[in-house]
Structure 1
Amino acid sequence: MEFINHGGLNQVINDLNGLITATGVIMGTLEVCRLPQEKKRLPQQTRWLEQKLVAELTLPKIRNFLATHEFKLSPRLKRFGSLKDPIKRKTLVNLISALNLCYPEYDFSDLREKSFTRVSNLKLAQNGINTTLNSIVDEFYPDKCELFWSQLDEVVDLDRCSVYCYVPGLSQDDPFSEIGVAWSMNYFFVNNKTKRLVFFALQCVSFSSECAKEMYDQEEEIEFPSWCYQENDY
């Protein structure tokens, strides 16, 4: 798996990163990934993950443990599905690989299907993202929302892709569960036919968090509004 540069989507995330809201600073990730080609030699890490998942299918103790530690889902979400299905297994490997690629300082290799959910239909994902963007800044909606969906459709063909979410903090430490994160969202848009995956995630981090400080240490001095300094630490 590797990143693909897309100027339009790069501009979208650049417009979002660093926005100041009532609860903190927005930090986002929006990456286009090329999925491994079946006919080509798979990367060692990808092959290792697939082999490990297949091996676990033969270990009843592990499968029984996972089955008894399921969490309740909203009717709008669906469980990932059985890893006995090779397509589901490959999808899980791709989701894990995408997280490892986007957040190299973390290791998601031990995640399993219970850490992901499938969004039942595209409209739900669109409504969730549009609502979040609108809550961040009015100016981002609707013009830039329309541009975002247009650019995304160009990459993954939305009508023919599957949508997944990662459940933060269920299995391990991750960037969405760090101290100072007020809220977060994430979506994977996967089109196995075109071998494209887009990962879109937003976090709102408190002004006193290390992440926010690091972001602005790299830029020119920015004067926050006075209410920024009245926020409670998380």
Structure 2
Amino acid sequence: MKLLENSKFEAINNALSMQTGDSAIVGRIESYSCKMAGTDKALYKRFTSETNAHDLQALSPPQGFMDMSPNIGRGSNSGDENTVLCDTISRKSLFYLIATLNAAFEPDYDFSDAKSHEFSKEPSIQWVMNSVHSNLSAIGGDQFSALRQALWIAINDEINLNECDIYSYNPDFNSDPYGEPGCLWSFNYFLYNKKLKRIVFFTCRAINSVQMNASDSSVIGLDFAMEEGGMV
């Protein structure tokens, strides 16, 4: 995956760093081409070694929105009223999402072994926008209100929102790159335009700065004590 330069995104990313009282928001938007580089090709070959690239993989329901996803419902033709029909994704498209995570968080994290059930397909762009607004407005307030329109205009100019499938990454705690103490919430959205062969990755988290600073201080204090005691 190749990171694409976008001056509008750079300006928005600076504005997505917000501090209000004891809480802070840290976010970024990045655009990636789905053209595979050398390391991507090797990973893709391993990723599809035992399956066809077009095989469908089951996704988890969108968090908190199971009843409204268009492809999720009770099965009526299977004879089992409790059958749940899940959204699916091709093996190739799933690889693009995983490769985007690797590119966005390298070299600190490796998502090569991520599974399809850690991802969800979002019902609509409006649902995603509402979710983003709800989270960011609660902490960012007027700072986010001033940024809101420019943010979605920039994203639409880059990816054409009406042509996108939108996915999210919802890992367990052990796989979460934002699993540090003090993280209040986080989201990871992929806006995937197959026609453009491009993904816009929108990731953000809210931090309780007091709790995080206390955690950092305890780690620093432990390191100092270990050095003083000759344990390092």
Equivalent position SS for 1:98: helix
User: 2:142 corresponds to which letter in structure 1?
Assistant: E
The alpha-carbon deviation at position 72 of structure 1 amounts to 8.6
> Where does residue 11 of structure 2 map in the other structure?
11
2:88 matches 1:81 = yes
User: 1:111 corresponds to which letter in structure 2?
Assistant: A
Q: Count residues with an aligned counterpart.
A: 195
2:144 matches 1:144 = no
> Where does residue 121 of structure 1 map in the other structure?
124
- What 5-or-longer segments of structure 2 have no aligned partner? 73-85, 217-232
User: 1:13 corresponds to which letter in structure 2?
Assistant: N
Equivalent position SS for 1:45: helix
The 2-side partners of 1:198 and 1:72 are apart by 19
> Where does residue 185 of structure 1 map in the other structure?
187
Residues 115 and 157 from structure 1, CA distance in 2 versus in 1: closer, same or farther, beyond 3 angstroms? same
Residues 158 and 49 from structure 1, CA distance in 2 versus in 1: closer, same or farther, beyond 3 angstroms? same
TM-score of the two chains, using structure 2 as the length reference: 0.72
TM-score of the two chains, using structure 1 as the length reference: 0.72
User: 2:188 corresponds to which letter in structure 1?
Assistant: N
Identity %: 25
Say whether the 8 Å CA contact 1:29–1:201 is kept in structure 2: yes
The alpha-carbon deviation at position 51 of structure 1 amounts to 3.1
Larger Rg: 1 or 2? 2
The alpha-carbon deviation at position 50 of structure 1 amounts to 3.1
The alpha-carbon deviation at position 56 of structure 1 amounts to 4.4
- What 5-or-longer segments of structure 1 have no aligned partner? 37-41, 59-65, 83-87, 214-234
User: 1:123 corresponds to which letter in structure 2?
Assistant: Q
Residues 6 and 193 from structure 1, CA distance in 2 versus in 1: closer, same or farther, beyond 3 angstroms? same
> Where does residue 94 of structure 2 map in the other structure?
92
The 2-side partners of 1:72 and 1:15 are apart by 28
> Where does residue 168 of structure 1 map in the other structure?
171
> Where does residue 209 of structure 1 map in the other structure?
212
1:189-233 alpha-carbon deviations (Å, 9 max, x no partner):
1111112211111111222426997xxxxxxxxxxxxxxxxxxxx
Say whether the 8 Å CA contact 1:23–1:182 is kept in structure 2: no
Residues 94 and 211 from structure 1, CA distance in 2 versus in 1: closer, same or farther, beyond 3 angstroms? farther
> Where does residue 45 of structure 2 map in the other structure?
51
The alpha-carbon deviation at position 141 of structure 1 amounts to 4.6
> Where does residue 111 of structure 1 map in the other structure?
114
- In terms of fraction of residues, the more strand-rich structure is 2
Residues 43 and 175 from structure 1, CA distance in 2 versus in 1: closer, same or farther, beyond 3 angstroms? same
Q: 1:157 aligns with which of 153, 157, 160?
A: 160
Residues 72 and 201 from structure 1, CA distance in 2 versus in 1: closer, same or farther, beyond 3 angstroms? closer
